[in-house]
Amino acid sequence: MPFLTSRDQHSSELPVTDLTVDTTERVTLNIGGKRFVTSKFSLLNIPTTKLGKLSKSDPSYDPKNDEYFFDRNPKIVQCILDLHRTGDLHLPGNVCSTGVKAELEFWNVPEDYIAECCWKTYSLQNQDLKIAAIIDQQMGQNESQETNPSKPSIREKLWLTMEQPSHSFNAKVGTVISLEYFVRA
Ligand SMILES: [Zn+2]
């Protein structure tokens, strides 16, 4: 049975079960030189992902070695394989959210499969990146206009926000809001 969670709005994409598929079949994946062995049964637990849809007609299939080769990050693939086995996606602690996001997109794994325990770190990292991108953009637009020495510069605000522990997430949001105001004014 495919894993269908309450947050899974992808169930409508599930294909009609193909009775000709041998679910006991072993599947070997060569991910950037590291081999993983799983079963077709596990992969079909989530048939909407790239791994769930794998077939021998896929360009990644190497008939000589009877394996699928992908030049991707094996750490993330390990986690994605566990998702197919257990229904929970836990992320490795040593890969940044940008790397994780790119891999999840490649494997066609929606972010909402990420388990609660890993979601907080992942989403906070993404939020920080978005805020940093906005600040970078504003700095580029306004750096030339910073002429008043008594007013903290955008660079100083950024420094306070990122470096001082007392400047919490709320402070970061405040900085972004003030930057938006600064631009619109
Ligand atoms: Zn976790």
CATH 3.30.710.10 segments of the chain? 11-114
Q: How far is the CA of 27 from the centre of ligand 1 (A)?
A: 25
Going through 101-147 in order, the beta strands assigned E by DSSP cover: none
Please provide the average confidence, as pLDDT, over all residues in the chain. Answer: 79
Phi/psi-derived region of residue 19, left when phi > 0, alpha when psi is between -120 and 50, beta in every other case? alpha
List own/partner pairs for 134-140 with CB under 8 A and 24 or more apart: 134/176, 134/179, 135/161, 135/175, 135/176, 135/179, 138/179, 138/182, 138/183
Nearest CA to 98 out of 71, 133, 129 is that of 129
What's the confidence (pLDDT) of residue 13? 45
Q: How far is the CA of 90 from the centre of ligand 1 (A)?
A: 4
What are the strands of the beta sheet with 34-39, ordered from one edge?
34-39, 26-31, 67-70, 61-62
Rounded distance, CA 179 to CA 158, Å? Answer: 10
Q: Is 96 or 70 the better-scoring residue by pLDDT?
A: 70
Q: Is the pTM of this model over 0.95?
A: no
What's the confidence (pLDDT) of residue 171? 57
Q: Per-residue confidence at 126, pLDDT binned at 50, 70, 90?
A: confident
Does residue 102 carry a pLDDT above 70?
yes
Q: How far is the CA of 158 from the centre of ligand 1 (A)?
A: 31
Q: Residue 55 has which token pair?
A: 């077939």
What's the confidence (pLDDT) of residue 136? 78
**CB distance 51 to 84 below 8 Å:** yes
Does residue 98 carry a pLDDT above 80?
yes
Q: How far is the CA of 131 from the centre of ligand 1 (A)?
A: 24
CATH number attached to the domain at 11-114? 3.30.710.10
